[in-house]
Structure 1
Amino acid sequence: MKRIIIALILLVNIPLSAQIDKDESTPEETVEKFFAAFHAQDTVKLKNFAVEGTKLQSVSNDVEGNIKLSTDDYSNFLKSIASIPAEASFEEIIKEFRVEENGLLATVITPYSFYYNGKLSHCGVNSFQLVKFNDEWKVVYLIDTRIKECE
């Protein structure tokens, strides 16, 4: 009788633990949802993907070919997304996701091409640094490259 009760307890707990794991988001899913909100210009959702104080950086070449590193606050990023005119179209096409996860820390690398009003504007690579807070992945740092001459 003891064995039957133990077996029933184990069987009942298996679906519960599977459901708990299923509800947790992955770093890749978080970045995918980030881009869905980005394309929808949903700054409320975008704000929820990052922690207070998140920094964004971009690496590019200036007109003279010098390397330029620009830094901005996430709040300014949100303002820039909100200010894109309704008649403008933009799309960042993600080519792949490379994910390195280690406990509470994850890096998601996404090569991309960015189109503005149907024309290729630039391409490069995004590098998202995420931290897991209470089973939810949040962006703490984002850096990208911006290349004008894309293949």
Structure 2
Amino acid sequence: MKKILLLLLCSSSLMLSAQENYTNPKETIKTFFEAFHEQDTSKLRSLALDELQLKSISTDENGELKITTEKYADFLKSIKNIPSNLIFEERLLSYEINTDGNLANVWTPYEFYLNGELSHCGVNNFQLVKTENDWKIISIVDTRRKNACQE
């Protein structure tokens, strides 16, 4: 009997921790970056809707506005193809979360490092939708700048 109770307690705690990753927008974004750093494209795919596009806002060498768009499938391919000798880390500095019903907006200032050196900084803006069981990312827009980054 004690073994059965122990088994039930363990399995229910596993179920709770599995659900925890998707029950609120912040946990979805935290899971996104864990998967990003692990280059786990299957997990990344599970966190977003198929039609997701990524947009980046920056300036070119002449200071002109530059907006690039990337399909999520192409982003996943590029993550999978990062060489093992390249160490990358995106450090989120804070989270600002706003929700209204099934819509959430998560604003995360960040610093991006390549091989331990600051590469660029900016802000990620994630839009998420609450589906039947979890929050899914429907849009990602980021800014990228090389200067005015704080270390």
TM over 0.5: yes
Quick one: which of 25, 29, 51 aligns to 2:27?
A: 29
Structure 2 portions without partners, runs of 5+ = 1-15
Match of 2:141 in 1: 143
What letter matches 2:62 in structure 1? E
Paired residues for 1:80-99 under 5 Å: 80-99=78-97
Shift of 1:25: 1.1
Secondary structure of the equivalent of 2:52? Answer: strand
> What is aligned with 1:70?
68
Deviations 1:55-103 (A, max 9, x none): 1000001000001000010001101101100111000000000000111
For structure 1, the residue ranges without an aligned partner over 5 or more in a row are: 1-18
Partner of 1:40: 38
Question: Hey, what's the Cα distance between the residues in 2 that align with 1:102 and 1:89?
Answer: 37
Partner deviation per Cα, 1:7-35 (whole Å, 9 max, x = no partner): xxxxxxxxxxxx8xx85611000000000
Q: If you compute each CA radius of gyration, which structure gives the higher value, 1 or 2?
A: 1
The aligned residue for residue 8 of structure 2 is none
1:105 aligned to 103, 106, 109, which one? 103
- CA drift at 1:52: 1.0
Shift of 1:135: 2.5
Runs of 4+ aligned structure 1 residues displaced above 4 Å come to: none
What's the Cα RMSD here? Answer: 1.3
Query: Secondary structure, in 3 states, of the residue corresponding to 1:45?
Result: helix
- Quote the residue 1:131 is aligned against: 129
The alignment of Structure 1 onto Structure 2 pairs a total of residues equal to 131
TM-score by length of 2: 0.84
Q: Residue 35 of structure 1 aligns to which amino acid in structure 2?
A: F
Alignment partner of 2:67: what SS? strand
Q: Aligned partner of 2:101: which letter? A: G
Among all aligned residue pairs of Structure 1 and Structure 2, give the percentage whose two residues are the same amino acid.
47
SS of the residue 2:49 aligns to: strand
- What secondary structure sits across from 2:79 in the alignment? helix
Which residue of 1 is the match for residue 7 of structure 2?
A: none
**Cα displacement (A) at 1:134:** 0.7
